[in-house]
Amino acid sequence: MITCEELFNLFNKNDLTFFTGVPDSTFKGWMSFLEQNKGKKLTQIIAVNECEAVAIAAGYHLSTKKIAVVYLQNSGLGKTVNPLTSLCDPAVYSIPILLMIGWRGEPGTKDAYQHHKMGPMTIPLLELLDIPYEIIPDDIKKLDKILKKAKEYMEKNKRSFALVIRKNIFEEIDKQHEIKNGRPSREEAIKTVLRYLDGDEIIVSTTGKISRELYENRSNKEDCSHDFYNIGAMGCAQSIALGITLNKKNKKVFVFDGDGSVLMQMGALATIGYYSPENFYHIIFDNQAHDSTGGQLTCSSAICFDRVAQACNYKFVKIINDVKSIENSIIELKGKKGPSMLIIKVRRGSRKDLGRPTITPKEHKEKFMQYLREN
């Protein structure tokens, strides 16, 4: 196993000290290292989505002639196809970037459903993009040679290079940015919201632990026919809900969202506000962190979601940070016309024995669609 200090020393030796991207659980120890050392011997910028990270890296190169490192999960590689081909490619501006790609769903390994497709196509996609790559070995001397080779290639050819990273290659640094602030846990907040709903609402929940906690707190886990667990496609829960809302005007549709998810696709708020469905209710569980990938900070501490929502034509917006306020606010929210938003400030972290839905995505989709047809 390679330590984060050893890894950074190799980057530093090759003058690669500018890092940006979207966190991935494949190398969450490395993410913790970057956060702990930012502003000292390296620059670290957590982007809200992978396209933004590539653009930031391009701006860094344009202003310094140096090469930036962009870290991302392989699901985000698909998102970067546009800027990699229409901005960085030699056919356009020829801007080199070093990609660090977490290999979720690697062939021959077990992983969540949402990684089953991107896992096997990660290497073919890099080949299609004409980006040379190396699969990182668990050997610091071999990695030293790979980084030297990558740096020389990028400088000579003004082209990008990718490092593909398997699980358990880098050391773990378990650092949750925990804040003892008296706020409820996210699961406690979800449980309270469910208690004060009528029970016939449609709920679309975002990827990661929010969907898992919603599932865990359903009394009939094998049914859950009016929940849609958006286990992949981070940031898309709000837009899925909009599509449902516009076609099921007789039902109240709730989105259970996270701050990182909303930030990733924040432009969707403008679309929601423009079409202004009265039966759209948006709940953001804001813990200022990417909880599912190791607790890395988001930039939500600097964002006023309430003002953004109001500027996007949401009709009712409220911020709360305690359980009692959740109870009163859900009752108030149900009486309002949408689009409406409730921002619930919660603390970071989750219980270690948190389960996952046992039903397959396809089976769940069929049950959900049947419910929508019949109600």
Residue 174 in domain? no
Q: How confident is the model at residue 182 (pLDDT cuts 50, 70, 90)?
A: confident
Q: Which helix (H) or strand (E) holds 45?
A: strand 43-46
Q: Tell me what pLDDT residue 164 has.
A: 98
* Nearest Cα residue to 96 out of 73, 64, 74: 64
Residues 272 and 214 in one domain: yes
Q: How confident is the model at residue 368 (pLDDT cuts 50, 70, 90)?
A: very high
Q: Residue 42 and residue 17: Cα distance in Å, rounded?
A: 5
pLDDT over 90 (residue 173): no
Chain segment 63-115, per-residue pLDDT in tens = 999 999 999 999 999 999 999 999 999 999 999 999 999 999 999 998 888 89
Residue 172 in domain? no
pLDDT over 90 (residue 223): no
Q: What is the mean pLDDT of residues 200-213?
A: 94
Q: How confident is the model at residue 352 (pLDDT cuts 50, 70, 90)?
A: confident
Q: Tell me what pLDDT residue 221 has.
A: 65
Q: Tell me what pLDDT residue 64 has.
A: 98
Q: What is the mean pLDDT of residues 210-220?
A: 88
What average pLDDT is seen over the chain?
A: 93
Residue 227 in domain? yes
pLDDT over 70 (residue 178): no
Q: Tell me what pLDDT residue 92 has.
A: 98
Residue 340 in domain? yes
pLDDT over 90 (residue 295): no
Q: Tell me what pLDDT residue 358 has.
A: 84
pLDDT over 80 (residue 180): no
Residues 31 and 66 in one domain: yes
Q: How confident is the model at residue 174 (pLDDT cuts 50, 70, 90)?
A: low
For residue 234, what is the domain's CATH number? Answer: 3.40.50.970
Residue 137 in domain? yes
Residue the block writes with tokens 């501006």? 93
Q: Tell me what pLDDT residue 172 has.
A: 80
Residues 245 and 190 in one domain: yes
Is 116:179 a contact under the CB 8 Å cutoff?
no
Q: What is the mean pLDDT of residues 154-164?
A: 98
Residues 190 and 161 in one domain: no
Residue 181 in domain? no
Where in the sequence is the domain holding 35, given as residue range(s)? Answer: 4-165
Q: Tell me what pLDDT residue 356 has.
A: 86
Residues 341 and 192 in one domain: yes
Q: Tell me what pLDDT residue 298 has.
A: 93
Residues 157 and 217 in one domain: no
Q: How many degrees, rounded to 5, is the angle at CA 169 between CA 132 and CA 141?
A: 70
Q: Residue 176 and residue 182: Cα distance in Å, rounded?
A: 16
Chain segment 275-288, per-residue pLDDT in tens = 999 999 999 999 99
pLDDT over 80 (residue 349): yes
Chain segment 305-321, per-residue pLDDT in tens = 999 999 999 999 999 99
Main-chain dihedrals φ then ψ at residue 134, nearest 5 degrees: -140, 140
pTM beyond 0.85, yes or no: yes
The DSSP letter of residue 298 is -
Number of domains in the chain: 2
Residue 175 in domain? no
- The domain boundary, picked from 134, 165, 196, lies at 165
Residues 156 and 229 in one domain: no
pLDDT over 80 (residue 117): yes
The first and second tokens of residue 255, run together, are 């989105």
Residues 97 and 151 in one domain: yes
Q: Residue 174 and residue 277: Cα distance in Å, rounded?
A: 42
Residue 196: how many CB atoms within 10 A of its CB?
14
pLDDT over 70 (residue 222): no
Residues 13 and 160 in one domain: yes
pLDDT over 70 (residue 177): no
Q: What is the mean pLDDT of residues 365-369?
A: 94
Residues 206 and 322 in one domain: yes
Residues 108 and 198 in one domain: no
Q: How confident is the model at residue 181 (pLDDT cuts 50, 70, 90)?
A: low
Main-chain dihedrals φ then ψ at residue 284, nearest 5 degrees: -105, 120
Q: How confident is the model at residue 238 (pLDDT cuts 50, 70, 90)?
A: very high
Residue 131 in domain? yes
Residues 70 and 160 in one domain: yes
Chain segment 30-47, per-residue pLDDT in tens = 998 999 999 999 999 999
The first and second tokens of residue 154, run together, are 């990028």
